[in-house]
Structure formats: C-alpha cells, structure tokens
Amino acid sequence: MISLDWDEVLRLHGYRITPQRQLVLEAVNTLGHATPEELCTEVQKYAAAVNLSTIYRTLEVLEEVGLVTHAHIGHGAPTYHSVEEDSHIHLVCDTCSQVESVDAEVAEVFVQILRDKVGFETDVAHVSVHGQCAKCLDRQKLL
C-alpha cells in the first residue's frame, strides 16, 4: 500500500497546490464529519479571507482526486470526511435527528448481494440509512 502525500496526489491530477486546498484538507481531517459551512468556519480560523465558494470548489477537487468523500445525511447538508478514516455508515434517526456511525463491515453481505444481483458496486462510505434509533424506539414503547 503506497500512500502519496496530498500535494503529490493533486499534482498528479494536474492541480496546483494552494494554501486554501491545504487548509480545507486539514479542516476535513480535524473535524471528521463536517458540512461545507462548518469547514469554512474552521478554515477561517486560520485564514479569514477564504470564501465559502472556494470551500465548495475545493471540496469538489479534493473529492475528484480521492482525498475526501461525502455522504448525504438528512436533508440539506452533505458531510465530508477524510478518506483516511475507517469507512463507516451513517444511521440517521428520523425522530431525534441524531447520527450514529457504524463500521462499514456490517454492510458487507448487503454489498455482496447488490454486486451479485444487479452488478452494482456500492460506495460504502456514502451510504446513509434512515430509520429510528434504539433510544427513540424505546421511548415510543413507553407511550
């Protein structure tokens, strides 16, 4: 497993190295899970002049070269993660809106079924599952 530095990856894809790109990547690594807005706030701690639209454009580039991924949790806010993190699945509770992460291996069988049945190759880290979390289910039983 050879791992290239972030700047080498960008260069290999013909992109330039800029402070903004470094800062966004660091913010993604620092925050773990974060929306573009949250990343912007984080980046602006170090460079106040960085614009939100730069965050969006940068995330697009970083995602294209495979340095970050995103998942759609809930309605309006995608969250970005480092690809270095262990890949995980988001369980979104539709009652309390809490997001729980579980290791992606729980989906192994599911992914295999999709592969066999329809030839679909799942991006595991991008899966988000809606439903009811244990806590909210308990609360409902009490009523």
Query: 91-105 burial by CB neighbour count: b if 16+ within 10 A, else e?
Result: bbbeeeeebeeeebe
User: Is 90:133 a contact under the CB 8 Å cutoff?
Assistant: no
Quote the least distance from Cβ 51 to a copy of itself, whole Å.
21
Q: Is 118 in the site for a copy of itself (CB under 8 A)?
A: yes
Q: Is 12 in the site for a copy of itself (CB under 8 A)?
A: no
Number of other CB atoms surrounding residue 85 within 10 Å = 15
Residue whose structure tokens are 């990856």 = 9
Taking CB under 7 A as the binding criterion, the range among 51-59, 86-94, 115-123, 124-132 that sits at the site for DNA is 51-59
Quote the least distance from Cβ 66 to DNA, whole Å.
15
Quote the least distance from Cβ 4 to DNA, whole Å.
15
Q: Is 133 in the site for a copy of itself (CB under 8 A)?
A: yes
Residue whose structure tokens are 């960085």 = 50
Pick from 52, 99, 111, 114 the residue near DNA by CB under 7 A.
52
